[in-house]
Amino acid sequence: MSVFKDRAMMEEMFGEIWTKMVNETEFGPKLKENGISIYFVVNDPDVVMFVNESGPIFGDEAKTKVPVVTMKMSAENVHKFWLNKLNIPKALALRHIKAKGPVGKVLQIIPLLKPGKAMYPEYCEKFNLPMEV
């Protein structure tokens, strides 16, 4: 069973988080500066999202974009990542996260996600998600 109720819930939650990250932190400008766009393919529930300096898009519209990097993972690992309970290099090595493209670029911006990680518990509360994994 997924930590997220369904696709709509996950899209709403991450739509809010990514939009806030792009508009209110240095994350958006850094994506633009480094020419980074990321396409996420998430399962359980199945969600596709594309994130660049303009913010997130989901579903069929996201599928039309050409990303710099593609990341595939379970929703459980997405949740663990935002809770700081997932070691990215280890998850990549074990193929719990599958990445395609210049992953080094994305690893460089991971520190810029700190504000999002700091706000994630608030979203867990808002969307009634467990914070223990």
Asked if the model's pLDDT at residue 16 lies above 80, the reply is yes
Range of the domain at 105: 7-124
Residue 119: count of CB within 10 angstroms of its CB: 17
Cβ-contact 38, 67 below 8 angstroms: yes
Give the chain's domain count: 1
Asked if the model's pLDDT at residue 1 lies above 70, the reply is no
Asked if the model's pLDDT at residue 133 lies above 90, the reply is no
pLDDT cut 90: percent of the chain above it: 83
Q: Identity (one letter) of the amino acid at 8?
A: A
The average confidence (pLDDT) of the chain is: 93
Give the model confidence (pLDDT) of 31-45 as tens digits.
Answer: 999 999 999 999 999
| 39 within domain boundaries | yes
Instruction: Give the CATH number for residue 73.
Output: 3.30.1050.10
Give the per-residue pLDDT at 123. Answer: 96
